Structure 1
Amino acid sequence: MNKRANGHSAQPQSRINCPSSAKERLPSVDPYGFERGEDFDYESYEELMSEYLAVLTRRSIKWSKLLQGRSRVEKNMKVKRYVRKGVPNEHRTVVWMAASGAQEQLEKNPGYYRSLLDAQHDARLVDTIRTDLHRTFPDNVQFRRTAEPCLQSPLYNVLLAYGHHNKAVGYCQGMNFIAGYLIIIVKDEEKAFWLMDALLGRILPDFYTPAMLGLKTDQEVLGELVRVKVPAVWQLISDQGVMWTLLVSRWFICLFIDVLPVETVLRIWDCLFYEGSKILFRVALTLIRHNQEIILQGRNLPDICESFKLITKGPYVEDCHTFMQKIFNEPGSLSMATIAKLRATCRSRVEAEQS
């Protein structure tokens, strides 16, 4: 997997080196432990975050009043609206755990996570996971062996436990980045394990099984949605004979990690845990629809692939608050009934191709 996009480190077209005072004020590592690249635009980041922090402060007050110290989150229109407007970091663990059902599973299964770690381990699973540990977020200082504490240890535990918990999935590349993100945010490996269970077992079933049937199906579903909502792009992709898996597999399998800035990914995950997998289509459709002029300039496969990388960078996706407002407006209506119908059709097609 390529080195991930670093927080808000896009490369504006007419970037001006920011004054040394801005660089002195901001650390070279973001709040999540990711190193900022040499091209990081400190001035733009300061300007953006000064506005976003005001939003987060307002949201934090509202969430504190809503939760009142409870670890339960109701499913209603008010909470849905709150989630879409963003969950502040201090409330993320509680909201993710409650909304996804992970908290309920943790409470129903006391000691289960530890029992998985204490059991005899599959040697092949252990070797595969260990091989990927040092490849997980090489630009994050918390995952380096010299870090204290080093997050490679809880990452190994979560992946090992999950591999034994869900033998149909075991372990595959991409899961290390998801588990790593969860550990960074929730700072508790047992909670990260149960959130993995919610994501891979209920929200995104069959995404990470050996056949990856769910993943392949949803990539095809996106293609069908693009045909209806952005027909010019669909026509270009069809005319060039490009497979959707070449363009969006990283978007889906890594849930936009290593694709979009970290704050934007976390906002997407807020909605993913609360509303389910539909959010992935909204994000993908918004990126494609908003940037269709860039995509339509492509004349061949390399051009099109490059355009799909280009559209995930820059101010549009860095301003996570505005971007999240766009994903609920730009693609238009997107009902679960529509997605379910498309999934049934596309799954049959994928199964036929695999057989």
Structure 2
Amino acid sequence: MEERNRNRETQEQQLNEFDKSTAKERIDRIDPYGFERSTDFDYDAYEEFMSVYLAILTRRSIKWSKLLKGNKKVGKSLKVKRYVRKGIPNEHRSLIWMVSSGAQAQMDQNPGYYSKLLNGEKDAKLVDAINTDLHRTFPDNVLFRKTAEPSLQKALFNVLVAYGQHNKTVGYCQGMNFVTGYLIIITKDEEKSFWLLDALLGRILPDYYSPDMLGLKADQEVLGELVKVKVPGVWQMMEQHGVMWTLVVSRWFICLFVDVLPVETVLRIWDCLFYEGSKILFRVALTLIKHNQTTILQARNFPDVCDKFKQIIKGHFVEDCHGFMQSIFIEPGSLPMTTINKLREKCQASLLAQGL
């Protein structure tokens, strides 16, 4: 009897340990933002990185708390710019994005506007277009599944419909769903996500999502012009193989690196995007290309080039978000906004002359 009890206790202990193990495995498979990790996810490398990065995040959190001191206002200054580049802790991210982008000011000046848009009459074509893309938005994120409680699909639908009603010139186009999804994950608030989307599409990235997408197309050509100067070997290879920039970097720009780079890296990019503007997208793209030029230059034909551009958005370099963000302000070198604006004018004029 005593031996039987000992055996039962041993079995129960093993079952408990198994339950804990499987529960941990389930948790580990989902990242802090609700995304399922791939089957080949390197947990050891991730733990090694996080052991260092968590200490950085703790230091940044203390510094940000001291800077804000419970205040919900933060001005533009070299100190704040430096803080933003070093990363905004998640607990302050929504606030800093809202304030630095001007979204908070717009929301304060238009009380009840978002609710009015949601409660108003909705365009049937707009609703159909958004509904078509809902199930395609982050199928690997447990928070966006219909079975989630609450499901973020509803919030995503509301923000996109409201924005389509607000900006009828843009309405809705693919890419906006992924960008809006990230906004909702971080803000956990529909109205804030709406005003941040308005800041991005209306001020930071004008004409990226307009019907002719002139801003988006021009910026991809601008990147090509910058590569011609800063990484001439890659530019020459692209010319040699007749590869248009839009074929390899369009998703980088239209999704603002969402579903291109790791989540933490994208959020660090967006910290700077909301504070410093669209120049950050060029810094990221140039860093990816310049840092990996040896890999890219191994391409021997058109499919090779496309494959190399898929390779360079993976691996330790982009997963180490802190190191990567330090690189984007070093590797591309000087990048004055005046240069970018001149190139934009030139590329837009060329595209218009070609009839887009």
TM-score in same-fold range (> 0.5): yes
- Classify the secondary structure of the residue corresponding to 2:257: coil
Match of 1:135 in 2: 136
Match of 1:222 in 2: 223
Deviations 1:126-183 (CA, angstroms, capped at 9, x unpaired): 0110111111000000000000110000000000000010111000001000010000
Shift of residue 30 of structure 1?
Answer: 0.3
- Classify the secondary structure of the residue corresponding to 2:108: helix
Q: Relative to structure 1, is the Cα distance of residues 42 and 25 closer, same or farther in structure 2, using a 3 angstrom cutoff? A: farther
Shift of residue 97 of structure 1?
Answer: 0.1
**TM-score of the superposed pair, with normalisation by structure 1:** 0.93
Shift of residue 245 of structure 1?
Answer: 0.3
Deviations 1:160-207 (CA, angstroms, capped at 9, x unpaired): 000010111000001000010000000000000000000000000000
Q: For residues 257 and 284 of structure 2, what CA distance do their matches in structure 1 show?
A: 9
- Classify the secondary structure of the residue corresponding to 1:344: helix
Match of 1:123 in 2: 124
Match of 2:291 in 1: 290
Q: For residues 24 and 344 of structure 1, what CA distance do their matches in structure 2 show?
A: 52
Q: For residues 259 and 46 of structure 1, what CA distance do their matches in structure 2 show?
A: 22
What letter matches 1:324 in structure 2?
Answer: M
Aligned: 1:236 with 2:209? no
Match of 2:271 in 1: 270
Aligned: 1:354 with 2:355? yes
Q: For residues 265 and 296 of structure 2, what CA distance do their matches in structure 1 show?
A: 22
Shift of residue 295 of structure 1?
Answer: 0.5
Aligned: 1:71 with 2:72? yes
Match of 2:35 in 1: 34
- 1:181-260 matches, cutoff 5 A: 181-260=182-261
Shift of residue 26 of structure 1?
Answer: 5.8
- 1:61-100 matches, cutoff 5 A: 61-100=62-101
What letter matches 1:170 in structure 2?
Answer: G
Shift of residue 301 of structure 1?
Answer: 1.1
Match of 1:103 in 2: 104
What letter matches 1:133 in structure 2?
Answer: L
Determine if contact 1:129/1:171 at 8 Å carries over to the other structure.
yes
Shift of residue 27 of structure 1?
Answer: 1.8
Shift of residue 25 of structure 1?
Answer: 9.7
Bigger Rg over Cα: 2
Deviations 1:228-276 (CA, angstroms, capped at 9, x unpaired): 0000000000111111000100000000001100000000000000000
Q: For residues 80 and 189 of structure 1, what CA distance do their matches in structure 2 show?
A: 27
In terms of fraction of residues, the more helix-rich structure is 2
- Classify the secondary structure of the residue corresponding to 2:28: coil
Match of 2:262 in 1: 261
Shift of residue 348 of structure 1?
Answer: 0.4
Shift of residue 24 of structure 1?
Answer: 4.7
Q: For residues 172 and 126 of structure 2, what CA distance do their matches in structure 1 show?
A: 7
Q: For residues 173 and 338 of structure 1, what CA distance do their matches in structure 2 show?
A: 30
Q: Relative to structure 1, is the Cα distance of residues 212 and 25 closer, same or farther in structure 2, using a 3 angstrom cutoff? A: closer
What letter matches 1:113 in structure 2?
Answer: Y
- Classify the secondary structure of the residue corresponding to 2:354: helix
Match of 2:339 in 1: 338
Between the two proteins, the alignment pairs up a number of residues equal to 336
Q: Which is worse superposed, 68-77 or 52-61? A: 68-77
Q: For residues 284 and 264 of structure 2, what CA distance do their matches in structure 1 show?
A: 14
Compare relative contact order (CA 8 Å, sep 6+) and give the higher one, 1 or 2: 1
Determine if contact 1:26/1:42 at 8 Å carries over to the other structure.
no
Shift of residue 291 of structure 1?
Answer: 0.3
Q: Relative to structure 1, is the Cα distance of residues 24 and 125 closer, same or farther in structure 2, using a 3 angstrom cutoff? A: closer
**Structure 2, unaligned runs of 5 or more:** 1-20
Match of 2:178 in 1: 177
Q: For residues 47 and 339 of structure 2, what CA distance do their matches in structure 1 show?
A: 41
Match of 2:329 in 1: 328
- 1:44-55 matches, cutoff 5 A: 44-55=45-56
Q: For residues 290 and 157 of structure 2, what CA distance do their matches in structure 1 show?
A: 39
**Structure 1, unaligned runs of 5 or more:** 1-19
